[in-house]
Every structure is written in C-alpha cells, then in structure tokens.
Amino acid sequence: MLILASASPRRRQLLSWLNLPFEINVADIDETPLPGESPDVYTLRLAQAKAEAVASRLNPMSDADLILASDTTVSLDGEILGKPADERVARDMLTRLRGRKHQVFTAVALFIPGKTLLAELCTVDVPMRVYSDAEIAAYISSGDPMDKAGAYAIQHAGFHPVDKLDGCFAAVMGLPLCHVMRLLHQAGNPLSLNMPAHCLEGLGYNCTIAARIYPIYKS
C-alpha cells in the first residue's frame, strides 16, 4: 500500500492520476527553518522528515507500505514565503511577486521498507504576470490565498497568476508526478503512464520537460 503523508487536497488529486491505491497518514512535524538554511535544503529536509515521521508511527511496517511525502517552498530572492498569516500579508506577498520571477522548490521523499529513504528535489522558475491591484483584491476576497505558500495557486482559473511557465506545473501545485514516478521506479514499482497527457488534460499544461525526468517519455 502507498501512504501519502499529506492532507493537501491538491496532492491527493495529483497522486490519484497514478492509478495506485493509497491511504492518507498526515505527518506532524516542526516546519521552522533552521538558522541560515537555504530554501532548497529546507524543502528537502521537511519532505524527508515527514516520511520518517509517518514511518515511525507505522513500525513494524508491512512489506507493502511505501510512504510518500512532499513539501513545497516558494522563494523570492532567497527568502521563504510561507502561507500568509492574514490578508495584509497575502497582499504584500502578491504585490512583491507581481511581474517577477521566483523559485518554487518541491521535494518528494519515498520511504521504503528496510529503512531506505529516497528523495528528489524539483526546482521551477515561476514568472508571474503583471496583475492589477484590483485582481489582487478580488483574489484575496475569494479566500484562496490563505492556505497557499506564497499566497497563490498556479492552477486558479480566475486569478491565473503565472505567465509562460517552462517547468513542472504539478510541482508548483505541490507534487511533481514524473519525479514521483522515478522514485517508484527505483523502489521496484515502475509505471508506464503517459503523465504528460494527464497534465495536458487535467491541468491544460503542455509539459516540455517530462523526458528529462523520466526516460520512458523519450522518443
């Protein structure tokens, strides 16, 4: 059984595209950055810690238990932008991001029986469009930014914050599926799904990088 160590509805949605049965077992860890910790190192550390936290609760584990954990960090000029504490912070984040390129780091960790932990980090440069103050206000009034790192969701159809992405759309949402498939392959569970087709159908995004991540997509 595959166990997802996350309560995120977006991660549940994306993981369901792999057509694998899975259960939810939410990790509860301290997500405070360490002094001087860079966003990429921070993100990878949290994903690994989440997988290990769930694994510790399930010991002894069945041979079928694989634990998948993920963490996503929005970073602007090296600064970690977490979930906004209130509407004022959300407005400030969206204003700072407007018309600029920032980084989204999403790490995935897979805990395998036998105490093996595999992990990967996906980094995406995200160019934001020049949206107006009125668009920011309308988006904040929808309530959507309040549980999102960086105060935005790339997939929000009404706000549509990102302009001409060239990277993993699913990673910005919270779960880079080709990276997940690569980890599962390493764990002895290869999948032959056409994930670029799923991303095109489900997200409206024409992926150009899948072949670099998961060799099955190479022509």
**Per-residue pLDDT tens over the stretch 55-104:** 988 865 455 589 999 999 999 999 999 999 999 999 999 999 999 999 99
The phi and psi torsions of 92 (rounded to 5 degrees) equal -65, -45
Dihedral angle, C-alpha 91, 31, 179, 146, nearest 10 °: -20
pTM tops 0.85, yes or no: yes
d(CA 44, CA 40): 6
Q: Which two tokens stand for residue 193?
A: 């799904």
Q: What is the pLDDT of residues 120-145, one digit of tens each?
A: 999 999 999 999 999 999 999 999 99
Using the predicted structure, report yes or no on whether residue 217 has a pLDDT greater than 80.
no
Q: How do residues 171-207 score in pLDDT, each as one tens digit? A: 999 999 999 999 999 999 888 889 999 999 999 999 9
Annotated domain spans of the chain? 2-217
CATH class of 2-217: alpha beta
pLDDT the model gives residue 211 = 85
CB 169 within 8 A of CB 153: no
Number of Cβ within a 10 Å radius of residue 167 = 20
Catalytic residues: 71
pLDDT for residue 192: 84
CB atoms within 10 A of CB 216: 17
* Residue 219 clears pLDDT 60, i.e. is over it: no
With beta carbons less than 8 A apart as the criterion, state whether 105 and 73 touch: yes
